[in-house]
């Protein structure tokens, strides 16, 4: 109810089922360079409070906030009667919809629930069908990412009659080991267990799965996007890949319900800027822009270009291209001619031999220390465009926004994809004996 | 006397002076150090490293702080600069590493390299771990080092790591030269300089204190040792050559600073005039403020633009309440029993009077800070000297006499601790190479 007061449109209730006991501790996280909880992990199961209490509270919430959507997340043992019973009770309590938790990767799965269901398309289809026999409200199936191809359970849920899908649940994880005790986190009396990973770190994985589901006609259903969403930009990206709604868990646990204010405000401002009146104006708009690799234009050519006026001279692009890409960035701006033979080791050796002293105004008449406002020319790297493969690495490591841009080279070649090359017999298609999932 | 005696225990303990000269740049705590370390870009061929005269691998030691490898961080620092803790506090980083940091062109906030360096060094000291280097296997070679300031200490460390005996001779009772007796206490307390040297002496450096080397003794040392290193710094402060200079109440900046640092002097009178506007003058003026003076003037013969002090030192002095009298030259020191006033002549017209007019500052103490002289006597004809500086090959520190090497203020005209360390380090390596070559050809 505090979430609704803060501005959230709806809530998916913590999964309800036959009460279990949760352990302490339950959470652990990955920090990154001083920022907390870049990735979050839990070994919490479903609600440890009774079905009765949960449903009483749900009824109370619905009574006080009739306009807000309340979805009951459910997980019970894989028996038709049990599912029918819980569906009935949740709907009687006033739930606006049901979310079937086929995703929880720990604890429940060992008892044949959660991801144990989500990982077997037949079970997924079966339970969805049972629920649909009883349900009067929309049924959402929540998918587990702990599977090779998310489309398998998605298609099964669709066959079972699901009204909608949500993805993703958490990803199997061990967040870390304590280097003093050699115990894993989160620590429960010296032991840990694999948990479910979420938070900002999982967003790319979630986006990929969302795209796979939305682009697959046999899977596609209304989709609620989940996984690492923390702000309006994240939300917009999920919607662009086809989601109709989004859900947030970790970011709220981190910063509280109040984050919804900017999610709303920022999204509306962006929509106004782009001329979108509603979510439907841009939902799924990016789906066609993600294709199979063999549909990419092989004749598209770009190269890195360094904007010298912006370069601060950190030379991260240089070391990245030498050690991580194609050795085509050079420090030869002040050499008489382009020099592609000077290696990073030679640069470092020269620097080590250089003698520098503290500039003292009295002793160093004239140049009293060089100004640090401009990058010295010898520190600005140069891209050898003939050898640049256009991989982006340098532009990704460059700390300065817009300093390295990737520029298109007009090579006069007509677009051509791998698929077209294969079709034209230029490249062999390759033997493919395994069953195609398409 | 050998390195057995604890230098730190010999440091004076004056709580009042310590309180008055609290840290100008307070240390980082862990919560602040790690985000700051993470902010560093880890530049390739980092400009901060290039600007550091000792070429400390700055990004490397910073990233070790970020990864929690504090002992590795301190080792990285000490490997390049054996006085890494002193330098972290004493270096004018605005014109060195931090001045060169690429962040000036990114978000205008350079990485606080010195404070990170101090963080790593303080952690090493707090851990009680020994110096992370061992002396090299004994070569039977030995070198005499004249002076036990930063230049000689750095040279000695390189020699010991290569198994060469290092015998240091200094006129003072404690090691460190101006690192111990000169650097302002609010930057580098005397005891911290000694703590670092104490650690360095674990390499088996041998000290001979209270030993003033004259030309005759030098000839003896040359004979006994395989090489001689000159790390004698600069000489005393120049005199003005005006009337009244012999009065009680006239002192010089080095004596004043060494006096308060070694605990011999704990207060100054109310009104103080400092003559000169270099970094030393600024240090003396700020020290006078901290020692209780209520009115401190700096008199300089030229204007703020020509001042040889670093801009940030000038700013600091102004914040401390020091007043500047520009374009004036002292012409007489007035007083009967002791100093009562300083007569100044205007060298340029100002709102208060024309060029050539005189006026008098009522003062109780006059501190001269008009530059240091050189030690020409000791060297009389031994090695080539130009404009008061011993001439050396900069890469090896070798002088015109191949058996003599030199470094630090006596060769560079008076720069900073870190320059002396860099000179000493190059000379130590240079001496070892020269001796090695001499051995090989013998
Ligand atoms: C007031 C003042 C403040 C300073 N502040 C800073 C600062 O904040 N940061 C910074 O980096 N640098 C500072 N410096 C500069 C720095 O102290 C010097 O550059 C550095 O100490 C030079 O080291 P050195 O080894 O060449 O000489 P010194 O430190 O001068 O050491 C020379 C040693 O040789 C001894 N000696 C000389 N002749 C003989 C002899 N004949 N026989 C025996 N012993 C002899 C002396 O007693 C002395 O101990 C300051 C200097 C001064 C004067
Ligand atoms: C502590 C915690 C408990 C969770 N419990 C449930 C649950 O009971 N039922 C469920 O379907 N998902 C549960 N999840 C998964 C989230 O609903 C969500 O799918 C996942 O965390 C990814 O979204 P996020 O990155 O916004 O957190 C839980 C996640 C966390 C962190
Ligand atoms: S795009 Fe890749 S290959 Fe080209 S310069 Fe950058 S890093 Fe090197
Ligand atoms: S990474 Fe960017 S800022 Fe750094 S040197 Fe390369 S182009 Fe310049
Ligand atoms: S220049 Fe600045 S950002 Fe780059 S390595 Fe040095 S301290 Fe780090």
Contact A67/B at CB under 8 A:
no
Is the Cβ pair B50, A351 closer than 8 Å? yes
What pLDDT band is residue B4 in, cutting at 50, 70 and 90? Answer: low
pLDDT recorded at residue B380: 77
| CATH code assigned at B55 | 1.10.1060.10
| Same domain (yes/no): B111, B25 | yes
Ligand nearest to the CA of A54: 2
What pLDDT band is residue B3 in, cutting at 50, 70 and 90? Answer: very low
Q: Which residue of B has its CA nearest to A361?
A: B308
CB neighbours (10 Å) of residue B147?
30
CB neighbours (10 Å) of residue B196?
30
| Same domain (yes/no): B382, B403 | yes
Alpha helices, H only, B22-83: 30-39, 47-51, 58-66, 70-80
| Same domain (yes/no): B320, B364 | yes
In-domain check, residue B257? yes
Q: How far is the CA of B167 from the centre of ligand 1 (A)?
A: 18
Q: Let me know: does B407 contact B427? Beta carbons within 8 Å.
A: yes
- C-beta A317 within 6 A of ligand 4: yes
- For CA atoms B311, B317, B318, B319, give the dihedral sign: positive
Q: Let me know: does B317 contact B297? Beta carbons within 8 Å.
A: no
Query: Pseudo-torsion of CA A279, A285, A286, A287, nearest 10°?
Result: 110
**Of B310, B339, B368, at which residue does a domain stop?**
B368
Task: State phi, psi for A338 to the nearest 5 degrees.
Answer: -50, 135
CB neighbours (10 Å) of residue A387?
14
DSSP state of B129: P
In this structure, of A151-155, B255-259, B438-442, the range with the lowest mean pLDDT score is: B438-442
Contacts of A312 in chain B (CB under 8 A): 102-103, 105-106
Q: Is B264 exposed, middle or buried (0-12, 13-18, 19+ CB in 10 A)?
A: exposed
pLDDT recorded at residue B73: 98
In-domain check, residue B204? no
Query: Comparing C-alpha atoms, which of B150, B262, B164, B162 is closest to residue B206?
Result: B164
Q: Chain B interface residues facing chain A, Cβ-Cβ under 8 Å?
A: 34-35, 38, 41-45, 47, 49-53, 55, 66, 91-92, 95-96, 99-106, 278, 307-308, 310, 394-395, 412-416, 418-419, 422, 426
pLDDT recorded at residue B1: 42
- Residues B364-373 pLDDT 10s: 999 999 999 8
Give the mean pLDDT of B396-420: 97
Whether residue B36 is predicted with pLDDT greater than 50 in this model: the reply is yes
Q: Quick one: angle between helices B113-127 and B190-200, nearest 10?
A: 60
pLDDT recorded at residue B5: 64
Task: State phi, psi for A344 to the nearest 5 degrees.
Answer: -55, -35
Interatomic CA distance for residues B58 and B80, integer angstroms: 10
| Same domain (yes/no): B225, B257 | no
- Residues B151-161 pLDDT 10s: 999 999 999 99
Interatomic CA distance for residues B391 and B412, integer angstroms: 9
| Same domain (yes/no): B292, B323 | yes
Contact A358/B at CB under 8 A:
yes
Q: How far is the CA of B177 from the centre of ligand 1 (A)?
A: 5
Is the Cβ pair B95, A399 closer than 8 Å? no
The residues, ordered by sequence, that sit 6+ positions from A335 with a Cβ below 8 Å of its Cβ are: A342
Interatomic CA distance for residues B307 and B315, integer angstroms: 12
Q: How many domains does chain B have?
A: 3
Pairing of strands B358-362, B295-299: unpaired
Best of B32, B37, B38, B45 to mutate (most A CBs within 10 Å, chain A)? B45
| Same domain (yes/no): B352, B416 | no
CB neighbours (10 Å) of residue A288?
8
Q: Say whether B250 sits in a helix, a strand or coil.
A: strand
- Residues B167-224 pLDDT 10s: 999 999 999 999 999 999 999 999 999 999 999 999 999 999 999 999 999 999 999 9
Give the mean pLDDT of B95-101: 97
**Of B368, B399, B419, at which residue does a domain stop?**
B368
- Residues B103-133 pLDDT 10s: 999 999 999 999 999 999 999 999 999 999 9
pLDDT recorded at residue B161: 97
Tell which one of A305, A319, A329, A395 to mutate to probe ligand 3, the residue whose CB is within 8 A of the most ligand atoms.
Answer: A329
What's the ipTM? Answer: 0.90
| Same domain (yes/no): B419, B329 | no
In-domain check, residue B386? yes
Tell whether omega for the bond before A168 is within 30 degrees of 0, i.e. cis: yes
Ligand nearest to the CA of A103: 2
Interatomic CA distance for residues A116 and A125, integer angstroms: 13
Is the Cβ pair B100, A347 closer than 8 Å? no
In-domain check, residue B346? yes
| Same domain (yes/no): B299, B379 | no
The set of protein residues with a Cβ atom below 6 angstroms from ligand 3 is A 304, 320-321, 325-326, 328-329, 383, 388-394
Interatomic CA distance for residues A327 and A394, integer angstroms: 11
Contact A372/B at CB under 8 A:
yes
| Same domain (yes/no): B310, B337 | yes
Tell which one of A400, A405, A406, A407 to mutate to probe ligand 4, the residue whose CB is within 8 A of the most ligand atoms.
Answer: A400
| Same domain (yes/no): B257, B334 | yes
- The distance of B14 to chain A (nearest Cα, Å) reads 33
Tell which one of A249, A250, A251, A256 to mutate to probe ligand 2, the residue whose CB is within 8 A of the most ligand atoms.
Answer: A249
Q: Let me know: does B62 contact B113? Beta carbons within 8 Å.
A: yes
| Same domain (yes/no): B60, B41 | yes
In-domain check, residue B244? no
pLDDT recorded at residue B70: 97
- The distance of B4 to chain A (nearest Cα, Å) reads 34
Contact A313/B at CB under 8 A:
yes
Q: Say whether B66 sits in a helix, a strand or coil.
A: helix
DSSP state of B80: H
Contacts of A375 in chain B (CB under 8 A): 102, 105
Could you tell me the domains of chain A? 2-289 (3.20.20.70), 294-361+374-408 (3.30.70.20)
| CATH code assigned at B415 | 3.50.50.60
pLDDT recorded at residue A368: 45
Interatomic CA distance for residues A164 and A137, integer angstroms: 11
Is the Cβ pair B394, A355 closer than 8 Å? yes
- The distance of A314 to chain B (nearest Cα, Å) reads 5
Q: How far is the CA of A312 from the centre of ligand 4 (A)?
A: 6
- Which domain range does residue B422 map to? 142-171+211-235+375-441
Could you give the C-alpha distances from A132 to A58, A88, A120, B243, in angstroms and in order? 21, 11, 18, 109
Percent of residues in chain B assigned helix, strand, coil, to nearest 5: 40, 15, 45
Contact A176/B at CB under 8 A:
no
Query: Comparing C-alpha atoms, which of B22, B24, B95, B379 is closest to residue B219?
Result: B379
The residues, ordered by sequence, that sit 6+ positions from A432 with a Cβ below 8 Å of its Cβ are: none
Pairing of strands B271-275, B295-299: parallel
**Of B351, B368, B385, at which residue does a domain stop?**
B368
Report the atom number in ligand 4 closest to the C-alpha of A306.
7
Pairing of strands B271-275, B365-368: parallel
Q: Let me know: does A243 contact A284? Beta carbons within 8 Å.
A: no
Element housing B343 (H / E):
strand B339-346
Tokens 């044949």, residue located? A112
Q: How far is the CA of A329 from the centre of ligand 1 (A)?
A: 45
The residues, ordered by sequence, that sit 6+ positions from B19 with a Cβ below 8 Å of its Cβ are: none
| Same domain (yes/no): B28, B51 | yes
Displacement of CA B317 from its chain's centroid (Å): 19
In-domain check, residue B202? no
In-domain check, residue B116? yes
Q: How far is the CA of B276 from the centre of ligand 1 (A)?
A: 19
pLDDT recorded at residue A434: 58
Cross-chain CB nearest to A357 (options B44, B100, B415): B415
- The distance of A397 to chain B (nearest Cα, Å) reads 10
The tens place of each residue's pLDDT in chain A, 438 residues long, gives: 899 999 999 999 999 999 899 999 999 999 998 889 999 999 999 999 999 999 999 999 999 999 999 999 999 999 999 999 999 999 999 999 999 999 888 877 888 888 889 999 999 999 999 999 999 999 999 999 999 999 999 999 999 999 999 999 999 999 999 999 999 999 999 999 999 999 999 999 999 999 999 999 999 999 999 999 999 999 999 999 999 999 999 999 999 999 999 999 999 999 999 999 999 999 999 999 999 999 999 999 999 999 999 999 999 999 999 999 999 999 999 999 999 999 999 999 999 999 999 998 878 865 444 578 899 999 999 999 999 999 999 999 999 999 999 999 999 999 999 999 999 998 887 765 555 444
In-domain check, residue B35? yes
Report field, pTM of the whole predicted structure over 0.80: yes
Tokens 């360390």, residue located? B421
Ligand 1, atom 9: nearest CA belongs to which residue?
B90
- Residues B268-277 pLDDT 10s: 999 999 999 9
- C-beta B312 within 6 A of ligand 5: no
Cross-chain CB nearest to A34 (options B35, B45, B415): B35
Q: How far is the CA of B372 from the centre of ligand 1 (A)?
A: 11
Best of A34, A342, A356 to mutate (most B CBs within 10 Å, chain B)? A356
């Amino acid at each position: 109810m505090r979430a609704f007061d803060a501005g959230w449109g709806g809530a998916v209730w913590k999964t309800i089922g036959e009460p279990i006991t949760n352990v302490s501790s339950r959470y652990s996280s990955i920090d990154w360079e001083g920022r907390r909880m870049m990735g979050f992990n839990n070994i919490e199961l479903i609600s440890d409070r009774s079905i009765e209490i949960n449903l009483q509270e749900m009824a109370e919430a619905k009574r006080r906030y009739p306009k807000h959507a309340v979805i009951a997340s459910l997980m019970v043992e894989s028996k038709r009667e049990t599912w029918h019973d819980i569906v009935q009770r949740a709907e009687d309590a006033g739930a606006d919809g049901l979310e079937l938790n086929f995703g929880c990767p720990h604890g429940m799965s060992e008892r044949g629930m959660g991801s144990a269901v989500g990982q077997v398309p037949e079970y997924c289809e079966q339970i969805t069908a049972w629920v649909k026999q009883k349900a009067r409200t929309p049924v959402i199936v929540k998918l587990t990412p702990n599977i090779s191809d998310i489309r398998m359970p998605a298609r099964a849920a669709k066959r079972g009659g699901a009204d909608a899908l949500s993805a993703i649940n958490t990803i199997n994880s061990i967040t870390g080991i304590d280097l003093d005790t050699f115990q894993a986190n989160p620590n429960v009396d010296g032991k840990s267990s694999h948990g479910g990973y979420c938070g900002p770190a999982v967003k790319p994985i979630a986006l990929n799965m969302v795209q796979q589901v939305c682009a697959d006609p046999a899977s596609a259903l209304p989709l609620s996007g989940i996984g690492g969403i923390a702000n309006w930009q994240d939300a917009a990206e999920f919607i662009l890949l086809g989601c109709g709604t989004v859900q947030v868990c970790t970011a709220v646990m981190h910063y509280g319900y109040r984050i919804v204010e900017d999610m709303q405000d920022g999204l509306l401002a962006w929509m106004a800027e782009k001329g979108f009146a509603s979510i439907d104006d841009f939902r799924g708009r990016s789906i066609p822009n993600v294709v199979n690799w063999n549909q990419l234009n092989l004749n598209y050519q770009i190269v890195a270009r360094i904007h010298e006026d912006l370069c601060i001279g950190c030379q991260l692009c240089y070391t990245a291209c030498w050690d991580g890409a194609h050795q085509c960035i050079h420090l030869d701006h002040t050499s008489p001619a382009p020099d592609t033979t000077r290696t990073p080791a030679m640069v470092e050796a020269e620097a080590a031999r250089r003698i520098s002293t503290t500039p003292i105004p009295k002793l160093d008449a004239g140049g009293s220390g060089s100004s640090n406002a401009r990058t010295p020319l010898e520190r600005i790297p140069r891209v050898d465009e003939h050898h640049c493969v256009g991989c982006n690495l340098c532009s990704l490591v460059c700390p300065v926004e817009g300093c390295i841009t990737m520029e298109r080279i007009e090579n006069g070649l007509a677009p051509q994809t791998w698929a077209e090359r294969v079709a034209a017999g230029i490249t062999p298609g390759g033997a493919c004996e395994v069953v195609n999932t398409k | 006397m050998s390195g057995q005696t604890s230098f730190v225990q010999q440091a004076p303990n004056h709580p009042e002076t310590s309180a008055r000269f609290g840290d100008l740049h307070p240390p980082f705590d862990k919560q602040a150090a790690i985000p700051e370390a993470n902010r560093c870009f880890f530049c390739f061929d980092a400009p901060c490293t290039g600007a550091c005269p000792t070429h400390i691998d700055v990004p490397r030691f910073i990233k070790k702080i970020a990864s929690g490898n504090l002992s590795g961080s301190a080792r990285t620092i000490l490997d390049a600069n054996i006085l890494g803790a002193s330098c972290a506090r004493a270096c004018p980083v605005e014109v060195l590493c931090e001045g060169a940091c690429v962040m000036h062109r990114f978000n205008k906030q350079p990485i606080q390299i010195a404070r990170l360096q101090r963080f790593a060094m303080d952690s090493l000291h707090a851990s009680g771990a020994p110096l992370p280097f061992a002396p090299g296997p004994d070569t039977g070679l030995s070198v005499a080092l004249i002076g036990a300031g930063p230049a000689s200490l750095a040279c000695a460390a390189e020699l010991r790591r290569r198994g060469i005996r290092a015998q240091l001779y200094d006129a003072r009772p404690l090691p460190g030269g101006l690192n111990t007796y000169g650097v302002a206490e609010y930057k580098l307390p005397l005891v911290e300089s000694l703590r670092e040297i104490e650690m360095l002496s674990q390499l088996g450096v041998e000290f001979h204190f209270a030993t003033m080397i004259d030309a005759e003794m030098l000839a003896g040392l040359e004979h006994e040792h395989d090489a001689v290193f000159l790390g004698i710094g600069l000489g005393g402060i120049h005199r003005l050559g005006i009337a009244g200079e012999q009065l009680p109440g006239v002192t010089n900046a080095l004596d004043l600073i060494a006096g308060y640092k070694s605990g011999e002097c704990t207060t100054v009178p109310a009104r103080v005039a400092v003559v000169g506007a270099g970094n030393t003058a600024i240090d003396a003026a700020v020290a006078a403020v901290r020692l209780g003076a209520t009115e401190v003037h700096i008199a300089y013969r030229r204007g703020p633009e020509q001042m040889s002090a670093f801009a940030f030192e000038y700013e600091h002095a102004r914040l401390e309440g020091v007043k500047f009298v520009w374009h004036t030259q002292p012409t007489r020191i007035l007083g009967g029993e002791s100093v009562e006033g300083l007569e100044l002549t205007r060298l340029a017209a100002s709102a208060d009077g024309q060029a050539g007019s005189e006026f008098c500052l009522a003062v109780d103490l006059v501190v001269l800070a008009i530059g240091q002289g050189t030690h020409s006597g000791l060297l009389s004809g031994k090695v080539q000297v130009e404009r008061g500086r011993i001439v050396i090959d900069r890469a090896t520190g070798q002088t015109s006499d191949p058996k003599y090497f030199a470094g630090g203020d006596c060769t560079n005209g008076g720069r900073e601790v870190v320059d002396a360390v860099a000179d000493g380090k190059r000379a130590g390596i240079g001496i070892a190479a020269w001796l090695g070559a001499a051995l090989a050809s013998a």
